[in-house]
Structure 1
Amino acid sequence: MARRQETARGSMPLKELLISKESTAMASFGVRDLDTMMRFAPRRYVVPAPLRSLHEVNRGEEVSAVVSVVSLRDRAMRSRHGFILEVAVSDGVEEIVLTFFLTKQHQLQWHRGRLPVGARIIVHGTVGFDDYRQALQITHPAYEPVEDTEEGRAWAQRPRPVYPLRQNIAQATMRSATEKGLEFAGSLSRPVPDEVIARRALPPLEEAARLVHTPLTVEDTRHGMAHLRYEEAFILQAIFAQRRGQDERTPAPVLAAEGPLQGLFDARLPFTLTDGQCAIGTRIEERIGNSHPTSVLLQGDVGSGKTVVALRAMLRAVDSGHQAALLAPTEVLAEQHHRTLLTLLGDLARAGQLDGHEAATRVRLLTGSQRTAGRRETLLDVTSGQAGIVVGTHALLTESVEFASLGLVVIDEQHRFGVDHRRRLRTKGPAGQSPHVIVMTATPIPRTAALATVGDLDVLSLRESPGLRAGVTSFVVHEKLPKWEQRMWQRAAEEITAGRQVFVVCARIDEDDAADDAPAPPELDENGNEKPPTLEPARGVTQTAQRLAERPELAGARIGILHGRLTGEEKQEVMAQMVRGEIDLLVSTTVIEVGVDVPNASTMIVLDAERFGVSQLHQLRGRVGRGEHAGIAFFDTTAEVGAEHSQHLRRIAEAVDGFALAELDLRRRGAGDLVGEEQSGLQRTLKHLDVMRDARVIEQAREDAFAVVAADPDLAAHPALAGAIADRLRDADPDVERS
């Protein structure tokens, strides 16, 4: 009963505790109850300058000094309405004048009332110079009464919290509100059990709130924030622990059969699986062999062999009497996956045909542009179960697609699919069962990197390449340095002369179509304000192809174009010409980002690279260096050398691992909603935690939260934790996928 009363008091509306302007100020940030306000941490702290004697100070220095008021005089301003108040103060050795420029009479009276002659105050401010009096002064200093004792001076030198502000809200209002809330801090709800707090040597919540909002030292702020960070991690991990428990109670098809398809496929592979592929394949088999659904992220750069690993898992699903679906973000990629699977499987994919193997299955393709007859035939095979493997785009998600027994879903390039897309596939399992999910990516989105860090996503990484990929080296080219740009095109020409091919990617199709423009991300100054644009408009495919045809370095090069306005047949023909070697240089939009395999292509040039995301740039450079020839990627930019866009591109060029890039993107864009559906966004879910900095805290919270939930799955003995979880999930879907 006592604990319920605590929780109720902690959720007390602020209107019952604060005056109107204070509760209104907090409400502008969505803070409407005591629990939330005590966890509404300052964005930073202002630490006063060290105490100094006035005879030691110089112009331009920050100073704190304990002084007594010697005299006051005020006068009307000559050039504008208002008053000048001059307060002479002394520290017993030296005098200095505090100067205030005031517009209202009541402001003048307010300062006079706080600064009577003889008052003992501490002053904080920047020392300036009065040209008229030829003397030092401090203009508009901060000040407050001080007891001339050791404790009084320590209190006066405490760090001042600085809260975020909205228009017409004063910092003093925010500080006053939180200080009043501290009077009731003992009634805050405590989601983390007391024994856990004690074991982790954290200050109790009431003490932590005081250390955060009214610290005496900088170290106090660290101790207070340590509790809030741990609490946030603990609640998040408790959510994940409950979801894991729910997974274990949710039925899923058991994909445990040993053959025959997977064994026949392994025997026919024209290459030997790497140790990494074998090890990860075994771990996937263990997971999909369970009777509850698994969610696995299979991470590996282009060419690392993810598709073969996923295909072996799909064959295991078919061997177990179920179906597998491979979901791709574009028709180009879906068609390539379909061709790849047919090639790899050979007669194992030709069930019902004269040259099909007796154990064969059917591999069907389903896309939005498929003709009616072909679509009808595919749907019939999917519904009847004749198609053991189905490859498709978003068309697989429609209600008209009914699987006979979907046991496994493989999702390629997960950054192209929203959470809702993946959840819809989850509902297509047989008889209330949820299919297993494997997500493949070379560049995890920031949200996925964060989830992998906090531990709610099983990550399997392929670190080695099974083929003869020569790899890619990336460079940033600044057009503000003309010789760099010239050398880039010379290098492209050298590759063409050597018999290889070049991709050039643009951010838009046509420069004359303003609606098609891809805006550059804004640059921010040190205060977070957007700077004026410093980049030139993005170039288009059409005009770029014309300009390149006129460059002397590329004389004689066969140039093609590819973009989204071409028909499906036109796109296929262009890519076929590229594969046959009939095009030397292809100017394209990002339609080649995924699904294009031209082993002879060795050079990727991305124009206006600052307009592309981290994942896009990594995918684009993965289009080259896929064969025996080393690849070169040029990130071309109109940004100034050393500008933020330039530095960001350099960091991408230097990072080669998908998770390293995701962490780079995570720091730049934020983690997104870790329990909801948003895939990115500036720390929407995390208020205090930094998933990189606080990895150790997250690990400890995971250990503690999983133990608490394991002992009490329904949290009957932990109502405050159950309430905190409900609050966190209030605006999120509790059934949201993890990746």
Structure 2
Amino acid sequence: MEQNYLTQLTPLFAPLSTLPGVAGRREALFKKLLGNRAIDALLHFPSNLIAYKYVTTIQEASVGETIIVRAEIMSHRSAQRRGAPHKVSCYDGHTYFDVVFFHGNVPYFHKILPEKTKRIIIGRADKNLSRWSITHPEKIYPALPDQTFPTKETVYPLTTGVTNKCVHRVIDAALSRLIDFPEWHEPNVVDSLKLMSFSQAIRQAHYPQTLEDLQLTPAHERIIFDELFAHQLALHFSRLAQQVETPGHSLTGTGALIRQLLAQLPYEPTESQKNVLREIFEDMARPTPMTRLIQGDVGSGKTLVALISMLRAIESGYQAAILAPTDILARQHSETIVQLAEKIGIKADILTGREKGKRREKILQELAEGTINLLVGTHALIVEDVNFKNLGLAVIDEQHRFGVEQRLALALKGHNPDILAMTATPIPRTLQLANFGDMDVSIIKEKPAGRQPITTKVLPLNRLHDVIDGVKRALENQAKVFWVCPLVEESEKINISAAVDRYEQLKEILGDKVGLVHGKMKALEKDTVMEKFINGDVDVLIATTVIEVGVNVPAATIMIIEHAERFGLAQLHQLRGRIGRGEKAATCVLLYGHEISQVGKERLATMRQTEDGFEIAEADLRLRGGGDILGTRQSGLPGFRLADFISYPAQMGSLLALANTEAKSVLKTNPDLRGERGLAIRLLLKIFDMDNAIKYTRS
């Protein structure tokens, strides 16, 4: 059976260039649009359906309508000057009109529209003054008796240089190679979802009869479910392979260091932190490497969980490291962690781009010898000459800020160390499954005791003077204020105040209490200003979004965000999380411009209504797609060709959850993919080009 299928499948999985009209100078364009294989063309679905109206004379048409008209070809008028059109005069028995061509092959125009013959012309009717015309007709047929014509045309998404007619020819040829695939889903799933076969769904998707057939039909749902199932299988199989191939270390610890640390703290970990630690300790005790993601809303105490986890590794005789995305965040971690570590006899240090010369050499030597138990750092940790004696646990903070290769490089610093990733960006369940299906996810739900709620106000920018007056009053009560601007310099396209301009304005009013940080400053300059804001005489920090992640200033109680409507919800939530970290009540002021979209209004309303990061993340997914949440791109969900989480979030979410459950079931019952269903699943993975399980899953 397997050999028979493979023979039938060969044409489907052949290169796209084996389809008619693809090879040659336009091959690269076709590949960009459709993919590399013949079967990829079948996953390129129509986006529109144009109905044709049959008219006896062009005067019956409305301007812009696509019509079918029978006419006699009267004469050709070639262009008299460069850039002028070639016109063909036609007569439909009632009205004279022109068929117009720009830039083309004149002999070819004479060939398809010979004078003194009758033709059926299909195209878009237009009118200039009193003269009707059809520019670049879509189809031309000889006018034969009792002839039937298509009454509609299926339109595909296109790219410059590829016409709809060419795409039709390629897809029709690919459809002629389509075979009936064996079923890869369990019979009970097929029955409960009333799934048609994969091949039937492909055919239906390419032959829509109405505009409704272009929406989320049962045919589309079947194919999208298959894509999600293939994606989840690839994630789970990749993870299983890694666990089998890469034995790790069983880190059980003694509990001694952790007990000493907890005795030093003025507070108890929350129940949520304790639950997450239990899950982490269970993973660390196993002989396979841990790959766990901790989600904790802003200020939920992830750093303490990370520190306790690192102490468990150190108790077990190994080293630990924490990788932060910025110098500022690394130094904040260092201040907290190094101090606590030293109190319990642990040697901790920091390594960033700022450690140079003899200081750096000393750190590298002590790290290689195992004298340093715990290292905090930035990208400087993953350069070639940094060697650990025995790295047992690598913690990655704000993990979406690192590329996969960077995370993998840290993992390679030890012999399959446990990986603990942390993010302060709450991720909706849909995105967890889609992007972290290979990782166990722990959530720290509650905030430590004593945290104050944040009052959020939404005001128009024309109330700026009132806001500045409020800041003056707050400074008299020793407040510290974040003031966030979206751009560094004035943009010619969008008239919004720049951080530099606002800094100069506020400095005139408030004097030397005002500081400025933005992305174009050197790290040392930024750190100096931040240090003055945290511990010194700068009380108002004008900033771009460089302060979004990780900065901890307990004394800061006011956050002002200009043009808040231009920020994503996840970003606004991160920025607001910079305040309310002390014992005083905090206020966030969102200032919006006069040109605010409906989406902008909904974002600001969401911010005013809730501080719950998960509610905000779900709203962000609904309003603009999941890209911003994951820090990968502005909108949309990475990795899927067909699944549309933005237009149909509820349907995609339920299909993804079911695909995840079914993938786990396959992993339990048939991990070697044996038998007929195993073969069918292998074909599914091949169809969606996921037969090589995801390369960097362990990172």
Deviation of the 1:689 alpha carbon = 1.1
Instruction: Provide the rounded CA distance (Å) in 2 between the counterparts of 1:139 and 1:508.
Output: 46
Deviations 1:360-393 (A, max 9, x none): x222222221254443443344333343322122
> 1:398-409 counterparts in 2 under 5 A?
398-409=383-394
Task: Name the SS for the 1:313 alignment partner.
Answer: helix
Q: Partners in 2 of 1:97 and 1:107 — Cα distance?
A: 21
Structure 1 distance, partners of 2:683, 2:616, is 36
Query: 1:60-459 maps to which residues of 2 (within 5 A)?
Result: 72=72, 74=74, 81-87=86-92, 101-103=99-101, 107=109, 110=112, 132=130, 160-186=153-179, 192=184, 198-199=190-191, 200-217=193-210, 222-249=217-244, 250-344=246-340, 347-348=343-344, 351=345, 361-429=346-414, 432=415, 434-443=416-425, 449=431, 451=433, 455-459=437-441
Per the alignment, residue 525 of structure 1 pairs with none
Sequence identity of aligned pairs in percent? Answer: 30
CA distance 1:661–1:52, change in 2 (3 Å): farther
Q: Does 1:697 align with 2:655?
A: yes
1:98–1:138 CA contact under 8 A, matched in 2: no
Once the two structures are TM-superposed, the CA of residue 161 in structure 1 deviates from its matched residue by: 3.1
Match for residue 685 of structure 1? 639
Contact 2:451 2:583 in 1 (8 A): yes
CA distance in 1, matches of 2:388, 2:617: 34
- Give me the whole-angstrom Cα distance separating, in 2, the residues matched to 1:192 and 1:563: 53
CA offsets per residue over residues 626-665 of structure 1, 9 Å max, x none?
2233333345566723387777677667674445555566
Q: Please report how far the alpha carbon of residue 612 of structure 1 lies from its aligned counterpart in structure 2 after TM superposition.
A: 6.2
Cα-to-partner distance string for 1:153-210 (whole Å, 9 max, x where unaligned): 9x9566x4322223332212212221232222127x7794686884553222322221
Residue 83 of structure 1 and its aligned partner are, at CA, apart by 2.5
The match for 2:541 is 586
Q: Which amino acid aligns with 1:179?
A: D
Superposed CA offset, 1:674-719 (max 9, x none): 9x99777755521101344412222222233333344443446545
Tell me by how many angstroms 1:5 deviates: 0.7
1:729 deviates by: 6.7
Q: Is the 2:320–2:373 contact (alpha carbons within 8 Å) kept by the matching residues of 1?
A: yes
Q: Choose from 689, 696, 699 the match for 1:736.
A: 696
Deviation at 1:397, TM superposition (A): 1.3
3-state DSSP class of the match of 1:207?
helix
Distance 2:493 2:428 in 1: 27
What displacement does 1:460 show?
Answer: 2.0
Give distance in 2, aligned partners of 1:335 and 1:68: 75
Cα distance in 1 for partners of 2:116, 2:196 equals 36
Task: Give the CA deviation at 1:423.
Answer: 0.6
Q: Which amino acid aligns with 1:207?
A: Q
Give the Å deviation of 1:545. 2.7
Structure 2 residue 540 is matched with structure 1 residue 535: no
Structure 1 residue 74, shift from structure 2 partner: 4.5
3-state DSSP of counterpart to 2:422: strand
Query: Secondary structure at the residue paired with 2:92?
Result: strand
CA distance in 1, matches of 2:256, 2:369: 21
CA distance in 1, matches of 2:598, 2:625: 21
Cα deviation for residue 256 of structure 1 reads: 2.4
Distance in 1 (alpha carbons) for counterparts of 2:14 and 2:525: 65
> What is the CA-CA distance between 1:606 and the residue it aligns to?
3.8
Residue 211 of structure 1: how far off its partner (Å): 0.7
Q: Which amino acid in the other structure matches residue 705 of structure 1?
A: A
Q: Write out aligned runs for 1:473-492 (5 A).
A: 473-474=455-456, 479=461, 483-492=462-471
Instruction: For residues 10-68 of structure 1, give each alpha carbon's deviation from its aligned partner in whole angstroms, at most 9, with x where no partner exists.
Output: 123444442458984633525343211112222x122638x99999x998599899x99
Q: Deviations over 1:481-516 (max 9, x none)?
A: xx322233223223223331212345666x5xxxxx
- Tell me if structure 2 keeps the 8 A contact 1:506–1:540: yes
Shift of 1:731: 12
Shift of 1:426: 1.2
Q: 1:641 to 1:39 in 2, by over 3 A?
A: closer
The normalised TM-score by structure 1 is 0.76
Q: Which runs of 5+ in 2 are unaligned?
A: 79-83, 142-146
Quick check: 2:232–2:434 contact (8 Å CA) kept in 1? Answer: no
Which residue matches 2:515?
Answer: 560
SS of match in other structure, 1:11: coil
**Which piece of structure 1 moves more, 400-409 or 444-453?**
444-453
Letter in 1 for 2:639: T
Whether the 8 Å contact between 1:447 and 1:666 is mirrored in structure 2 is: no
Residues 66-91 of structure 1 show CA distances to partners (whole Å, capped at 9, x for unaligned) of x996x757466799751343436xxx
Larger CA deviation: 380-389 vs 439-448: 439-448
> Deviation of residue 268 (structure 1)?
3.9
Q: Which runs of 5+ in 1 are unaligned?
A: 89-95, 146-151, 352-360, 512-516, 521-532
SS in 2 for 1:9: coil
* 1:453-532 alignment runs, 5 A limit: 455-474=437-456, 479=461, 483-506=462-485, 511=489
Contact 2:184 / 2:684 at 8 angstroms: preserved in 1?
no
Residue of 633, 656, 665 corresponding to 1:707: 665
1:562–1:589 CA contact under 8 A, matched in 2: yes
Which residue identity lines up with residue 625 of structure 1 in the other structure?
Answer: G
Tell me how far 1:278 sits from its aligned partner. Answer: 1.9
Cα distance in 2 between the residues matched to 1:564 and 1:678: 19
How far apart in 1 are the matches of 2:506 and 2:111?
73
Name which of structure 1's ranges 201-210 and 97-106 shifts more when overlaid on structure 2: 97-106
User: Does residue 1:40 correspond to 2:33, yes or no?
Assistant: no
2:557 paired with 1:602: yes
AA aligned to 2:329 is L
Q: Go from structure 1 to structure 2 and tell me whether the alpha carbon gap of 1:465 and 1:191 turns closer, same or farther (over 3 Å shift).
A: same
Alpha-carbon deviation of 1:422? 1.0
Q: For residue 736 of structure 1, what is the amino acid of its counterpart?
A: Y
| Matching residue's letter, 1:605 | I
1:377–1:454 CA distance, 2 compared to 1 (3 A): closer
Whether the 8 Å contact between 1:640 and 1:646 is mirrored in structure 2 is: no
Give the whole-Å Cα distance in 2 for the aligned partners of 1:577 and 1:176: 67
Separation (CA, whole Å) in 2 of partners of 1:257 and 1:384: 21
1:422–1:737 CA contact under 8 A, matched in 2 = no
